[in-house]
Amino acid sequence: MEQFRFIWKYIMRHKWQYIGGIITLFILDFANLYIPKTTGVITDGLAAHTMDMQGVLKNVGIILAIGFMLAVGRFLWRYFIFGASRGIEHEIRDGMFAHLETLDVEYYNEHKTGDLMTRFTSDLNAVRMAIGPAVIAAFDAIVMTVMVIGQMMVYVNIKLTLVAVIPMIFIAAGELYYGKIMQKRYLERQEAVSELTDYVQESFSGVRVVKAFVRERAQMKEFAKANAKAKRKNLNIVKMEAVVMPLLDVVIGISSLLTLIYGGYLALSGEITVGRFVAFNQYITMLVWPMIACGEAINMFSQGGASIKRIKEVFEEEPEIADSEEVKEVDGLKGEICLNHLTFIHRGHSEPTLKDISLQIEAGTTLAVIGRTGNGKSTLVNLILHLYNTKPGMILLDGRDINTIPLKTLRENIAYVPQDNFLFSDTLKSNIAFGTDNAEMEEIIKATKTACIHDNIIAFPDGYETIVGERGVTLSGGQKQRSSIARALKKDAPILILDDALSAVDTDTEEKILQNLKENRKGKTTILIAHRISTIQNADVILVLEDGEAKECGNHKELMELGGIYKEMFEKQQLEAQIGEKRAAFQAEDFGGERKEDMQ
């Protein structure tokens, strides 16, 4: 019932199409009744020698006219009902995509891409079949059956009609039971297909890792298991259909045999004419389709009901991150950030990721956040982006609680470069202009020059029109990072967040990018997250996170004088750099000696 209520609101938006289709179907079913009756009239007329050739041609003309009407009508009901079902499929797909975009990042942490893709494709197709072909099959199964049986009783014989109807009662009862079992089996099939789709998607996305670790055979074995499970679930449906459909044919055959025997007896005894007996057999033939249609309709309704349930689950998910009633419009942000005893616990964790962090960041400040892996650096910037909820008053932007700022306004005023540097399968130009509606080349080139990627791009054969692969896989790590930085700079937002965005860039290029940022972002707030102190040592404020706590805070000079965690990290990185330089020098010296010996 809940599934019906969910889909009913979509059906009502296309009610006139459905009404037009159903009226057309009714007219066609009614017209169909006259073909056997006209055939019977011709047979009786010829048998009794009461009909001449003109009469035969007249009745044949009636049959041809009905045939033409059926051809036009079949086009019309397809246009109306199939058009409506396609329209509803389109609306649900649009609505589901729009709704998924509103859901929090936590939802995508818990739901796999393959499962969502199956709901967008296979499940929606099943819903379309349930509100399109299944409606036609159900209407025909009910209306055609009632009309044909009524005509059989009125025009032919009541007793003969009752004999033909008895098997249909068993068919109807069996198909209702069949529908309940099919819905359960179809739901299991869809879940298995979702798992298979997700496994394939992950395997293709991680194909480089698979090849690097020579795990092709292992992946094939795991795929075979998922594929076998999907096959088993599909066969459960096929087996059921393999039993029910032939059984349906048997019952239909028995019904036809009984009516043939009893009808023949009535014709021989003179209770009905030969023409009416011929017409009755045609009516029986016409009843075969409604009985088959009834089974198909129940099958499609069962599959559609299971799929509607899965789609409805997506729509029922409510975003935790949404504009509250306290939200007030704001023209823009200047970039002042205040952290007021910020504490945050991730869902499913018992210990807080961030603990009692307080910090005032004036607009135009460059803040650097450093700390060991897993100490909450990325969580901090995700909270500033309002990707997770915080308690009121813990984060203030320009003196306003972040919870009272509209999400659209907040994120429009923040440019963000994430750790994974995601690029879309599109041109470099489109990727860099992604964050804005303006795609003017002058501004794009300005952003790429600041990010030190312009020279690389123009060296490509297609330049800015170069298509990058899925997730930007055709670019090197450094090129992806710099393209992501250019995309953020193109936005020219009051707040820029770089989450470990220079890790794949060499030190010389890193220095140039940082110098460009210093010149181009005067008066704007920049937040740098890094592991290398060389990246952040010139920042105005450096925040050192340890176990989720703000252990140290100050500029490079102040933290070095403090002699704590920061100084220890700095000296360790300096020592590692010196060791690396010496190792490189030794290798170069050994290589030079070998070349000298070879020359001698």
pLDDT tens, residue by residue, 494-540:
999 988 888 778 888 888 888 888 888 888 899 998 888 888 888 88
Choice between 415 and 149, residue whose per-residue pLDDT is larger: 415
Comparison of pLDDT for 32 and 431, the residue scoring more: 431
pLDDT at 46 over 80: no
Domain annotation covers residue 143: yes
Start-to-end CA span in the chain (Å): 91
Q: How far apart are CA 528 and CA 524, in angstroms?
A: 13
In a domain? residue 322: no
pLDDT of residue 40: 65
User: Amino acid identity, residue 374?
Assistant: G
CB 193 within 8 A of CB 227: no
Question: Worst-scoring range by mean pLDDT, 26-40, 497-511, 546-560?
Answer: 26-40
Residues 222 and 282 in one domain: yes
Q: Are residues 261 and 398 in the same domain?
A: no
Do the domain assignments include residue 586? no
What's residue 409's pLDDT?
87
For 415, the enclosing helix (H) or strand (E) is strand 414-417
Question: Tokens in use for 337?
Answer: 């950030």
Domain of residue 91, CATH code? 1.20.1560.10
Flag whether 324 is in a domain: no
> Does a structural domain hold residue 255?
yes
Amino acid type, 550: A
Q: How confident is the model at residue 283 (pLDDT cuts 50, 70, 90)?
A: low
Predicted TM-score (pTM) of the model is 0.74
Question: Could you tell me if 83 and 224 lie in one domain?
Answer: yes
Mean pLDDT of the region 262-277: 72
State the DSSP H helix or E strand holding residue 496, giving kind and residue range, or none if neither. Answer: strand 495-499
Distance CA 527, CA 362 (A): 12
- Both 25 and 160 in one domain: the answer is yes
pLDDT tens, residue by residue, 125-155: 888 988 888 888 888 777 777 777 776 676 6
Domain enclosing residue 144, as ranges: 2-316
Please, how many CA atoms are within 13 Å of residue 298, restricted to the half-sphere of its CB?
Answer: 24
Query: Could you tell me if 277 and 352 lie in one domain?
Result: no
> pLDDT tier at 37 (50, 70, 90 boundaries)?
low
Judged by phi (left if over 0) then psi (alpha if -120 to 50, else beta), residue 393 lies in left
| 505 and 546, same domain (yes or no) | yes
Tens of pLDDT, residues 293-334: 777 787 788 888 888 888 898 898 888 878 777 778 877 788
Q: Which helix (DSSP H) or strand (DSSP E) does residue 463 occupy?
A: none
Helix (H) or strand (E) holding 235: helix 216-269
Share of the chain above pLDDT 70, in %: 86
Residues 39-46, mean pLDDT to the nearest whole number = 68
453, part of any domain: yes
Paired residues of 525 in beta bridges:
495
Mean pLDDT estimate for the chain: 81
**404 has a pLDDT exceeding 50:** yes
Reported confidence tier of residue 599, pLDDT bands at 50, 70, 90: very low
- Residue 403 parent element (H or E): none
Q: Does position 254 have pLDDT exceeding 70, yes or no? A: yes
The separation between CA 253 and the C-alpha centre of its own chain, rounded to angstroms, equals 45
Please say if the pLDDT value at position 600 is more than 60. Answer: no
Q: Are the CB atoms for 454 and 489 separated by under 8 Å?
A: no
Q: Which of 64-73, 206-215, 409-418 has the lowest mean pLDDT?
A: 206-215
Q: Are residues 372 and 420 in the same domain?
A: yes
Evaluate whether residue 206 is within a structural domain. Answer: yes
Tell me what pLDDT residue 157 has: 65
- Shared domain for 59 and 102, answered yes or no, is yes
How many domains are there within the chain?
Answer: 2
- The pLDDT of 567-592, averaged and rounded, is 71
Residues 279 and 389 in one domain: no
Q: In 10 A of CB 468, how many CB atoms? A: 21
Residue 579 banded pLDDT, cuts 50, 70, 90: confident
**Domain shared by 343 and 295, yes or no:** no
Instruction: For 179-194, give one letter per residue: b (16+ CB within 10 A) or e.
Output: beebbebbbbbbbbbb
Q: Are residues 355 and 454 in the same domain?
A: yes
Give the domain CATH number at 508. 3.40.50.300
Which position has the token pair 């992604």?
Answer: 434
| 578 in a structural domain | no
d(CA 84, CA 17): 6
Judged against a pLDDT cut of 50, whether residue 457 lies above it is answered with yes
- pLDDT exceeds cutoff 50 at 186: yes
279 & 373 share domain: no
Residue among 317, 312, 318, 316 at smallest CA distance from 119: 312
